[in-house]
Amino acid sequence: MHSIVLLGSGNVAHHLFAVLQPYIIQVYARNAENLKSFSQVKTTTKKNEIADADVYIIAVNDDAIEEVSTLLTSKSGLVVHTSGSVSINAIVTSRKGVFYPLQTFTKGKKLDFKNIPLCIEAQRIEDYELLEKIGGSISNLVRKISTKQRQTLHVAAVFVNNFSNHLFYLAEEICAQDAIEFNLLKPLIEETVAKIQDLSPKKAQTGPAKRNDEKTMHRHLQQLTAENNKKIYQLLSQSIQKTYEEKL
Ligand SMILES: NC(=O)c1ccc[n+]([C@@H]2O[C@H](COP(=O)([O-])OP(=O)(O)OC[C@H]3O[C@@H](n4cnc5c(N)ncnc54)[C@H](OP(=O)(O)O)[C@@H]3O)[C@@H](O)[C@H]2O)c1
């Protein structure tokens, strides 16, 4: 069985640890306190104690990937990072790759890893095959994705996850101003997501901007008190209108 050293102790490290535990021989992190939840295996905060392994998975902040990879220059194993937006070339070792799980991870929030797309990349065919083998043991959706494709996918992921979640937050604030419970909107949120399993997002769109109901949009803008919310409402409405305007 292949051996893995995990570097990092955050959200992604916890989720990868849960599914890759049979392979993991050690977890490295800079903070001893954060290593306590990995006590089933050997842990270390010391750079010179990092074990020899077949694969090193760097699950640290995007900006720290390069720096952490410099700790592994004397190792012969394959070094991968887990970022959606950082180039494979941020890793300074000779054998490098990417092992990017396309999902939003939070410590303690359980997920079924089998349904999480794993975007993998490597420079050598044998390294790619190794990642494919390890990835295939934890996910049913392993895909070969280049750095350029992954960076595009990451921008798209920011739209579908980060931006939509921020809109949920703003909607919660808007409800709170009139003592309305946000829970009332949850079935609508669920249906919005469920609908695009069968329809394209373009076909699934509804609402005043799609219908060009100018009076309703004007009323909504008057109701919104925060300037920021007015701007977001206008920008998104214009984008929807542009999408559905009649082609002459
Ligand atoms: N969260 C997600 O939904 C998600 C999804 C897919 C991919 N990713 C990618 O996965 C990676 C990790 O994300 P995360 O959400 O797990 O981050 P996180 O929860 O914020 O954890 C970051 C980890 O990096 C460590 N770290 C930061 N700077 C370091 C340095 N200079 N040297 C050593 N360790 C350092 C932190 O250590 P300390 O605790 O000591 O600060 C912590 O263990 C990122 O590349 C991210 O883009 C994240």
CB-based burial, 43-81: b 16+ in 10 Å, e otherwise = bbeeeeebeebbbbbbbbeeeebbebbebbeebebbbbb
Burial 229-245 (b: 16+ CB within 10 A, else e): beebbeeebeebbeeee
- 33 and 137, same domain (yes or no): yes
76 and 162 fall within a common domain: no
Query: Which residue has the least CA distance to atom 21 on ligand 1?
Result: 10
Same domain for 204 and 174:
yes
Domains held by the chain: number? 2
Same domain, 170 and 206: yes
Tell me the mean pLDDT in the region 30-54. 97
Which numbered atom of ligand 1 lies nearest the CA of 106?
A: 1
Residues 6+ apart with CB under 8 A from 120: 97, 98, 99, 100, 128, 131, 132, 135, 142, 143, 144, 145
pLDDT for the residue 246: 73
Where does ligand 1 bind, in terms of residues with CB under 6 Å?
8-13, 29-31, 34, 59-62, 64, 67-68, 82-84, 100-101, 104-105
Examine the domain organization and report whether 139 and 69 are in the same domain.
yes
Give 167-226 as a 3 state SS string. Answer: HHHHHHHHHHHCCCCHHHHHHHHHHHHHHCCCCCHHHHCCCHHHHCCHHHHHHHHHHCCC
Distance 62 CA to ligand 1 centre (A): 7
Same domain? 20 vs 136: yes
On whether the CB atoms of residues 77 and 53 are closer than 8 A, the answer is yes
Domain final residue pick, 114, 145, 176: 145
Domain boundary among 110, 145, 180: 145
Quick one: 140 and 163 in the same domain? no
Give me the percent of the chain exceeding a pLDDT of 90: 96
* Domain at 236, CATH number: 1.10.1040.20
What tens digit of pLDDT does each residue of 173-223 get?
999 999 999 999 999 999 999 999 999 999 999 999 999 999 999 999 999
Same domain, 178 and 240: yes
**Which SS3 state, helix, strand or coil, does residue 3 take?**
coil
- State the pLDDT at residue 247: 57
Q: What are 118's strand-pairing partners?
A: 101, 142
By most ligand atoms within 8 Å of CB, the mutation choice from 5, 6, 11 for ligand 1 is: 11
Q: Give yes or no: residues 97 and 173 share one domain.
A: no
> Do 109 and 49 share a structural domain?
yes
- Which residue puts its alpha carbon closest to atom 17 of ligand 1? 10
Ligand 1 atom closest to residue 107's alpha carbon, by position in its atom list? 19
C-alpha angle 54-60-66 in degrees, rounded to nearest 5: 75
Confidence of residue 168 (pLDDT cuts 50, 70, 90): very high
Q: How far is CA 178 from the centre of its chain?
A: 33
Domain boundary among 145, 169, 195: 145
Same domain, 36 and 120: yes
The residue segments making up the domain with residue 94 are: 4-145
Q: Which of 46, 84, 92, 77 is nearest to 62 (CA)?
A: 84
Q: Which atom of ligand 1 is nearest to the CA of 62?
A: 45
